[in-house]
Amino acid sequence: MTRPALPDIVRGATLDIAVRIPDGFADGYFAGWVPTSQLRTYADVLIATLDAQWVDAANTRYIRLRAADTSGWPPGPAQFDVRLTSPAGVRLQTTTATLPITKGVTRV
């Protein structure tokens, strides 16, 4: 998985990022595979199960990770990865990425 540098997510803002499958895999290589992702603290406490969906299920080049409500997320560094599960049950796990969570000022 490759990804752009991740900005801080301000608690309360919507998380919406895309991660890219490396070029070493052909377009469509992961067709039928299911992506899943969780965000956890460094103490391994679950913060959220992210909505992980293929941007294009036939092409399988990008995975969109989304969380609409981040208002209850704890400030501080968090980590996530993506697990891909094949129709036969084979699992591949990406490397772990860090996502800094900060407190926002506006609360209306």
Q: Concatenated DSSP letters for 34-94?
A: EEEEEEEETT--EEEEEEEEESSTTT--EEEEEES--TTPPSEEEEEEEEEE-TT--EEE-
90 in a structural domain: yes
Domain hosting 26: range is 9-102
CATH of the domain at 14: 2.60.40.10
Q: What pLDDT score does 63 carry?
A: 97
Identify the pLDDT of residue 104: 83
- Total of domains in the chain: 1
Q: Is residue 1 part of a domain?
A: no
Instruction: Please state, in angstroms and rounded to a whole number, the distance separating the CA atoms of residues 71 and 24.
Output: 37
Identify the pLDDT of residue 5. Answer: 58
Mean pLDDT for each 10-residue chunk of the chain (108 residues)? 66 93 94 97 97 96 96 95 97 94 83
pTM for this one? 0.88
Tell me, yes or no, whether 77 lies in a domain.
yes
84 part of a folded domain: yes
Supply the pLDDT for residue 102. Answer: 94
Say if 65 falls within a structural domain.
yes
- Give the pLDDT confidence score for residue 2 in this predicted structure: 46
Q: Establish if 4 belongs to a structural domain.
A: no
Quick check: is 58 in a domain?
yes
